[in-house]
Every structure is written in structure tokens, then in C-alpha cells.
Structure 1
């Protein structure tokens, strides 16, 4: 499943706004990356999804503790967040959009992302009008533990407006964004030398546009890290800023998450071993079923050959074998007829078995025999008596059933 990851433009959303985008099939490797207007963005496919990335400079992060009684998606949760953040924000809370940290629980500290509500809504509506509805909205950088377990630093922007971003910073593992200057490098600890310093931070990652400036300010080489790589990393996070009035329905979110998980399992490099294991298991199952079916066919063919052999050896006059069991039964009936012996389906054996099985004192008023079935009238048998009668008859290979006062007895099992 393909994923289209696009970075929202900080400018006023509209048909002419351009979006930097990355198209990926596994969430780790970019198939294509470029910039285009909403109408010219590539199609991720029917089963794909579109992920929008909110630039770091358009988000502010705030640490709050939810009061007891406010669940993660309680209807009054937005009002609670407005009350908690009202004194910290410069703009009116009605004009802002709030997104709560995934897995936030009442009574524990949690992060809240805040951005311009009208801007985000207009950006999502523009993309939807262009046929690229957004499945998730993720932050470019998110607070919380980093992959390395230490603070990580990124130099982003342009030579005219370079910025330094720190993730996993401090005890709260916050996101901090400052102008890229020697003072900010020193204040965040990004300028610590790695030589002989066990507590040195991770290498500074820089976009190509500001890599030279970062190296000059830092005094050592930096690691190149493109905006496309950053977008891929952001899309793999568990944040979704589309909450409250911008949230999709629960069913839609579940389907999108299931599709994303299926696409990840199908293409992500870390699941390659699992895909091989599933493939080997399926092949083993198919081979095993075929071997079992072949053995069953051989056993059935051997039984059929044994029955045909018994028929031809016992009755040499039978030349053409069509249905060996039926033909054998016919030949046995002819032998019994020629010898004057009785078949279990004849009148006398059926009457003898029925008479021995009937309860004491039960005598039929009339009887009929036709086609191997004995019909008795005038018996007064309840359901329990018929069950007892059947148990006795089945021991001899017969079966009885009662219908409209008529007891019918016939041979059920050839003995």
C-alpha cells in the first residue's frame, strides 16, 4: 500500500499553494519526492493513504495534567484543555486547534499540540477538494523519547532563516525550536564535543540547504538529513492531530489503521523475515494438503480395486463392472433366490424382527408388505415406546418410523 506524505504549506491554503511531498511503498524508503500543487499531487492508490505533516514552526507544545474524570475522548475534553491552557496562550482558544498526546490518562502529565484552527481546517479542505483526503495529520517533530534515547538535534530551514530543533530535550523530552545561532547551540547542548565525552549528544542532522552553515557554527561535520527523510520519520509516529471537530469517524480511523498495518506488513523491511516465514508456512501447508490428498486417493483407489477384485473372483460371469457393490448385491440376491433362502429384507425376517421388538400386548390390526417395507396398523405406541422399539430393531439392522398411525419397518443396514 502506497503512502503519500505531504508537508502543509505555512501560507494561506488554496489551490495555488505548493506542498513538498514524498511517496513511499513501505513507509521507510521514498519512491519519489518533489513539490506540487494540490491538484498535481500523485495518487497513492485506492488502498493507499495520505498523511499531512504540520511544520514545527506552526505548532506550539504545552504540558498539562488532565483532571480526574476526563477520559481520552470525553465530549468535554476540549473545554477542559481550553481551561488548562487559556492563561498560557496569546490567541483566543476558540481560534486554536488542540490535539492531545496518544494514550493520555487523567491525573498524569501529557503533551498538547496547538495550532491555528482555521489554517488547518482550510488546508485539509483544500486537499479533499483536490481528491487527496488526508487520513492522518502528524507533527513534523513530536515530544517524547527518541530512537537513540538521548536528545537529537536538527538544523532545518533556509540559509536566510535557519532554525535549530531539539527533540527529546530535558526531563520532559520536549520539542524546542530556536534560531540556528552559536548561542542556541550552546544553550541546547548541541555543541558538545564527542571526543572523550560519554554524555555527548547525537550528531547534528542538517538539511542540505543549511548544512554548511551548521558545520561552520558547530565546528565539526554534520549528518545530512533531508526533508523527505524527516517526513517519512514523522509519518511513522503514533500522533494524529486530527482530533475533536477535525477527527474522522471511529470506523474510518480503524479501517485506515488496518490498511496501514497491512501495507506495513506487506512492504516494510523489518517485516521481511515474517513475510518469508508466512510464505514458507503457506507453501508447506499446500504441499502437505496435496500429499495428504494423494494418499487418500491412493487408499480409495486400493479399496475400489479390492471390491472389484472380490466381485470378479466371486462372480466370474460378471464381465463389465459399473457399480461393484450394487452388482454384488444383485448377484447375491440371485443366488439366494436360486437356493430358496431368504433375504433380510424379505417378509418373514422383517416380521420376525418386528414381532420380537414390539412391546408385550401390542398386536397390529392389519399389515402390508411391499418393496421390502412392512406396514403395521392398529398399534398404540407413544414416542418412548417407538424409541425403545427402534433400539431393538437397530440391533438387527432394521428401522421403524410412525406416521399417521402407521408403523413402517424396513431394512436399514445390510448385515
Structure 2
């Protein structure tokens, strides 16, 4: 799925504010990365793409709290009551007024268990989201640059970022709670990170025995980090960090900043549709679906062609039967109608009657009517006989209709009279 990942500046938005962005098609590789004003930001390249905003580590603080038992905390249950509970739990831990802060619970949070709460300035976050939406870049998710929990390497990590004049170290995967800490880039930060790392020689999958701590740095501060920490560091760009953050399960857009359930459902459906249409892992399924559609179209066209051929053969046989039986018919327009007309003329010439004539209709009605039933009036038109003044009980009417059907006639009640016809439904 195409994704535009934006890094939110630490200052409030203004006329000259620019956003660093990373554009990716698969969530793992950057197609483009740069910085631009909101109106000049690129759009996701595919339908169903989303915009993800990344909150920098310095703009967040992390608090570990335990929610009261029985408090609903799931998606769609972030009520003012839950907000009030969080304000009460955190008011003594934060420096600012809790009412001016934005809170976000960790994914899968449950009551009566310790949970992580992300805290940031609500006005700052809201203004950035509004500025992006005004520029046509509505943010679908808000994710933290670094989040508590296990790291990709499974051990504590230290990431140096910033500029040489204002460098900082972000420690992740620390302690039993796997928390996050932001410190100045000093040897003390390295010592704190090593305190949470396994001892050299201890079993640790994927870790070097000489250095179980993963140390990374942005290119701008890589040299400073090596001098300060006294060891080599791996380069890790801001674009790579943004891609890592966008793949997390976190979404800080909660409470008053949360999207509606309908919006989330539509966004998820769009993301799934985009993945099915564009993701490489679904290429085989797309080819299979396309081949299945083509096979069905070919089969339907072949079946329709066969049906047309069979119908044309039957029509040709009927026309041939008409012209062979009645050689004087030179032009065939409607073979069944013309054949019936010719048969009627033959019967008339021979003095015979058909099932549509008066005598057969009267004979069928006389044999089917209950004993003692006599009509008070009879009307005849070619192929139709109307009997008036014949009241029938429901059971007699059913028996009368059954006997007529056995003789090849149909009957129905019409304006207080019985209407008989030969052949099809009257």
C-alpha cells in the first residue's frame, strides 16, 4: 500500500513550516524523501494510500499506569470517563496541566493491567493535523517515532539523532517494562543502555558477545556519536526510522482526535483493496483471478455461440417443415402462426373442427360441469367460450378446472362467469 509518512516538527505550525516526508509503496523501501510545505507535499501514489504522521521522540513522554478493573478501554470505548481516569492517574506525574495534554493508550490495552500511555501537547498535535488536513493531506494514523516494547533486535538499542549542536540519544527496550528514554548524547546514556543489555557471553540470539547493545546514529551525528560513545555505530537515516515507525501498531489519534468507526472501516477497506490490487505478494492471486475471469468469459461466449447455433438450426427446421408441408407458402415470417393458419384452412375445407371451435368447447364444458349445472347464457368467440349463470362451490370449481385441464382446456372466473379457452392459460 502506498504511504506518505510525515515527521511532525517540534514547533507549532506556521507559514514557513516544512514537513520531512518519506514516500513508500510497500512500507519497507523509500521511493522519495525530502521536506516540503504542506501544500507541496506529494500524495500517496495509489488509491487507498494513507498519510501517517510521526510524533518525534522529544515531543512525547511515556507513563506506565494500571487502569481500574472493569473500565472499558477498547476501540470505540474511549469515553470522557476514561479520559478523566487518565488525568487523575497522571496529574502528579506530568509538569503541565493534564487538561492541556493528549493521552493515547498502547494497542491492546486492558483494564487492571499495567499499560503504557503516550503523553504530548494536545494543542500542538491538533494544530499540525489541522494544517495538514487544510492542505489536503488528511492524516490516517499518528504513530510515535519510538515506542515501548521489544525492539527489532530483541535487545536494548541506542539511537543518536539530531544535529551536532543539539544531539540526543533515544534508548529503547530498557528494563523489565521495555521502556523509552530520551537523554543528551553523553557517555552516561551509553552506560544506562548497557545496564539494560545482557552481560557479555550471555545467550542472546543475534547479538555479538563483545557488544550486545545495538547502537545506531543519523549521518549528521554519526561521527559525534562514535567519539562520545567510544565505539563504532551503524548508520540509520531519518527516512528508515520513519518507515520503522509507520509499521508499528500504535495510533496516537485517540479520544477527541480519533476518527469515527465508519472512517476507520472505510480506510481499512481501502487499504485492503489497495493491497490486493498492488501489493507484490498478491500478484499470483491477481493473475489467478484474471485468468479465472477470462476463462469464464471465453466459456460463456462459447456456450452462447452453441446456443445460437442450436436455435438457428431449430428455426431452420421449422421453416423447412412449413415450406415442405405447405409448398404454396413462399415467404416465411412466423412459421408457427403461418402453419396454424394453414391447418385451420385445411380443417375448414374438410369440414372438421378444432379444439378452438364451439362444438369441442361446449362438449368439454358439458362433460366437466357438475350434474344439474346449467348456464343461463353462452357467448362464443373464436377459441373462447363464456358461460354465465353457473355458480360453483369452491370444491366444484376445483374439480371442474381439473377435468378441463385433462381435456386440454383452461378455465377461470371472470366477472361472475366461467371463461374457457383451449391450450394456454386463459
User: TM-score under structure 1 normalisation?
Assistant: 0.86
Matched, 1:112 2:113: no
Paired residue total: 413
Partner residue, 1:97: 102
Structure 2 alignment gaps of length 5 or more = none
2:42 alignment counterpart: 42
Which deviates further from its counterpart, 160-169 or 400-409? 160-169
Of 139-148 and 330-339, more deviation after overlay is shown by: 139-148
With 31-40 and 289-298 compared, the bigger mean Cα shift is at 289-298
Which digits, 9 at most, give the CA deviation of each residue in 1:44-91, with x for residues without a partner? Answer: 488654321111221122233332332221421111222222333232
Structure 1 residues 314, 121: CA separation in 2 closer, same or farther (over 3 Å shift)? same
Q: 1:285 to 1:87 in 2, by over 3 A?
A: farther
Indicate the RMSD between aligned Cα atoms, in angstroms: 3.2
- Cα distance in structure 1, aligned partners of 2:389 and 2:71: 78
Does the 8 Å CA contact 1:98/1:113 hold for their aligned counterparts? yes
- Displacement of 1:183 in angstroms is 4.4
Verify the 8 A CA contact 2:218 2:238 in the aligned structure 1: yes
3-state secondary structure, aligned to 1:31: strand
Q: CA deviation at 1:370?
A: 0.5
In the TM superposition, what are the counterparts of 1:393-408 in structure 2 within 5 Å? 393-408=404-419
Aligned counterpart, 1:161? 166
Deviations 1:195-232 (A, max 9, x none): 9964316865543323445566474562x433223323
Tell whether the 8 Å contact from 2:198 to 2:204 is kept in structure 1 after alignment. Answer: no
Q: Distance in 1 between matches of 2:412 and 2:213?
A: 87
Paired position in structure 2 for 1:339 = 350
Are the equivalent residues in 2 in contact too, given 1:102–1:238 (CA < 8 A)?
A: yes
Q: Distance in 1 between matches of 2:313 and 2:321?
A: 12
1:128 aligns with 2:139: no
1:65 alignment partner in structure 2 = 66
Check 1:168–1:394 CA distance in 2 against 1; reply closer, same or farther (3 A cut). Answer: farther
Residue pairs, 1:275-314, within 5 angstroms: 275-314=286-325
Ranges in structure 1 where 5+ consecutive residues have no aligned partner: none
- Residue 15 of structure 1: aligned partner: 15
3-state secondary structure, aligned to 1:408: strand
Residues in 2 aligned to 1:355 and 1:215: alpha-carbon distance in whole angstroms: 116
1:105-153 deviations in Å (ceiling 9; x for gaps): 3233332211111111121222233333322222223334555655555
Q: TM-score, normalised by structure 2?
A: 0.84
1:270 equivalent in alignment to 2:281: yes
